[in-house]
């Protein structure tokens, strides 16, 4: 626990406690993933085909989606589905372009003759993992592929499970993927990290997935970059007595239907609201078609906590550092300004997580498992490198060389000292 949270923990009670821990529940896959990665590195496409048969129950003879297949799945899209997909693409692209506009090149003359700066350089090749999951998540390819294209990456490839819904392939194509492969799971991450006969190695892998995908990203990190380690989805709500129990219960269950391991919770200053939410969740589960998933998530990982005051509510929320944070208070904008640890924040009861999940423009690939304490979510900046440069004229050398020479001598690094002094007195080294 953080010191701030630990000092306040006596000031809350839990109306409903989680009975399982979403973090420790991911601990059983490390060795399986290690074997998959080693096998794909050694045997390439043959290993991927075997894993597709074993895990996806599909014998894939051709991994890459052809141009003809792309055109067909797009043509087969129901018109309203295509229109909605393109609406989401346009919104995500618009926001990504605006974000990219804030990442500017830099050139300064720090001292007379000392020129420093940086360039904003797109990553050359990016691999986007697109989860198939329990449902065809049509927004998933939009969130990973569109920002990569806006950033200017030379090649964007997409991998998705071979049994994914055809609309998912269509989404990859409409979002701008240069190449699309029918490969899922940890084997897809291994293929993008190391390359196979068919699938090119990439420089960075982005996108969410199950525990096996997440573990594979962790194990290949270093060989390639990754966006983050994202666990099961999360939603928390901070609320006071002005909040609506029915609305909050609806939003909690909307997120809970993602996965049986989704973490859902509320922290509130009002005991009556807490009890009302508890009643509403149970009532709505009775007629929710996805209750077999959402109900398990709620029973295992759901929590409702009542706190003494707003200060404790803020501290509790910042300690959780949830992926999605909804603010339902009398003055939600004022409350939001006091919060600092979250993946994305939804201010006021009209801002549902589902809008961001699908189409409003902000990215839905966000930090989980407390990572909101040190990072934000996927964004256009994830696809570029900010790389520094410097150049000096004689005035710049005169300004920095003496200090660099003295420091190198103090550190007993003679090679460094000579290199620093050389530009200051080149004739001193010419005859040596």
The whole-number mean pLDDT for each consecutive block of 10 residues of the chain, a chain of 432 residues, reads: 59 73 65 96 97 94 96 96 96 98 97 98 98 79 97 98 94 97 97 98 94 94 94 94 98 94 95 97 97 96 94 94 97 98 97 95 93 95 97 96 97 96 78 50
Structure tokens at 298: 């709620």
Q: Which residues contact 393 (CB under 8 A, 6 or more apart)?
A: 113
Which of 215, 234, 257, 323 does the annotation list as catalytic? 323
Count of CB atoms situated within 10 Å of the CB of 6:
11
Coil, strand, or helix at residue 237?
Answer: strand
Q: Are 246 and 282 in contact (CB under 8 A)?
A: no
What pLDDT is attached to residue 11?
66
Q: Return the pLDDT at 135.
A: 65
Q: Is 191 helix (H, G, I), strand (E, B) or coil?
A: helix
How far apart are the two ends of the chain, measured CA to CA in Å? 61
Tell me which H or E stretch contains 406: helix 394-410
Q: Name the pairing type of β-strands 114-122 and 106-111.
A: antiparallel
Quote the CA–CA distance of 362 and 359 in Å, as a whole number.
8
Q: Which of 173, 258, 319, 324 is catalytic?
A: 324
Contact 162, 153 (CB under 8 A): no
Region for 369 from its dihedrals, namely left if φ exceeds 0, alpha if ψ lies in -120 to 50, beta otherwise: left
Long-range Cβ contact pairs of 225-229 (< 8 A, separation 24 or more): 225/123, 227/365, 227/378, 227/382, 228/365, 228/367, 228/371, 228/375, 228/377, 228/378, 229/369, 229/371
86 is catalytic: no
Give the containing element (helix H, strand E) for 384. Answer: strand 384-392
Token reading at 392 = 């000096």
Four-way CATH pick for 42-220: 3.40.50.300, 3.40.50.1980, 2.40.50.140, 3.40.50.2300: 3.40.50.1980
pLDDT of residue 211: 86
* Residue from 312, 322, 329, 379 nearest 345 by CA: 322
pLDDT value of residue 39 = 97
Q: Does domain 3-22+231-361 have CATH number 3.40.50.1980?
A: yes
Q: Confirm if 372 and 343 have CB atoms less than 8 A apart.
A: yes
- Portions of the chain given CATH number 3.40.50.1980: 3-22+231-361, 42-220
Residue 307, pLDDT score: 94
Four-residue CA torsion sign, 44, 46, 49, 55: negative
Half-sphere exposure of 202 (CA within 13 A, CB side): 32
- pLDDT of amino acid 6: 65
Respond yes or no: is residue 234 known to be catalytic: no
């Amino acid at each position: 626990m953080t010191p701030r949270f630990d000092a306040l923990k006596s000031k809350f009670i839990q109306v409903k406690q989680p009975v399982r821990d979403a973090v420790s529940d991911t601990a059983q896959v490390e060795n399986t993933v290690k074997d998959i990665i080693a096998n794909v590195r050694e045997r390439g496409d043959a290993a991927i085909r075997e894993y597709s048969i074993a895990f996806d129950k599909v014998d894939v003879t051709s991994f890459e989606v052809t141009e003809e297949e792309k055109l067909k799945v797009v043509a087969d899209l129901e018109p309203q589905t295509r229109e909605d997909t393109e609406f989401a693409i346009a919104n995500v692209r618009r926001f990504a372009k605006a974000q990219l506009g804030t990442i500017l090149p830099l050139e300064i003359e720090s001292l007379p003759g000392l020129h420093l700066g940086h360039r904003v350089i797109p990553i050359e090749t990016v691999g986007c993992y697109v989860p198939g999951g329990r449902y065809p998540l049509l927004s998933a390819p939009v969130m990973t592929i569109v920002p990569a294209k806006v950033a200017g990456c030379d090649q964007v490839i997409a991998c998705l499970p071979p049994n994914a819904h055809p609309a998912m392939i269509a989404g990859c194509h409409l979002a701008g993927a240069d190449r699309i492969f029918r490969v899922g799971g940890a084997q897809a991450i291994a293929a993008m990290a190391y390359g196979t006969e068919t699938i090119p190695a990439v420089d960075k892998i982005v996108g969410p997935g199950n525990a096996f995908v997440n573990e594979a990203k962790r194990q290949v990190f270093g060989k390639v970059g990754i966006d983050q380690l994202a666990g099961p989805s999360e939603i928390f709500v901070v609320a006071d007595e002005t909040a609506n129990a029915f609305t909050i219960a609806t939003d909690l269950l909307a997120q809970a239907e993602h996965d049986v391991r989704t973490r859902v919770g509320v922290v509130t200053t009002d005991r009556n609201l807490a009890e009302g939410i508890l009643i509403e969740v149970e009532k709505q589960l009775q007629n929710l078609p996805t209750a077999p998933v959402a109900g398990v998530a709620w029973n295992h990982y759901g929590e409702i906590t009542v706190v003494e005051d707003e200060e404790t509510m803020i501290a509790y929320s910042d300690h959780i550092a949830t992926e999605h944070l909804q603010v339902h208070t009398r003055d939600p904008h004022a409350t939001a300004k006091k919060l600092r640890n979250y993946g994305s924040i939804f201010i006021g009861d009209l801002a549902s997580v589902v809008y961001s999940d699908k189409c409003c423009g902000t990215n839905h690939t966000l930090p989980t498992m407390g990572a909101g304490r040190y990072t934000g979510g996927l964004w256009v900046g994830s696809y570029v490198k900010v790389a520094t440069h410097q150049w000096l004229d004689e005035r710049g050398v005169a300004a920095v060389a003496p200090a660099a020479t003295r420091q190198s001598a103090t550190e007993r690094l003679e090679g460094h000292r000579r290199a620093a002094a050389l530009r200051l007195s080149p004739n001193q080294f010419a005859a040596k």
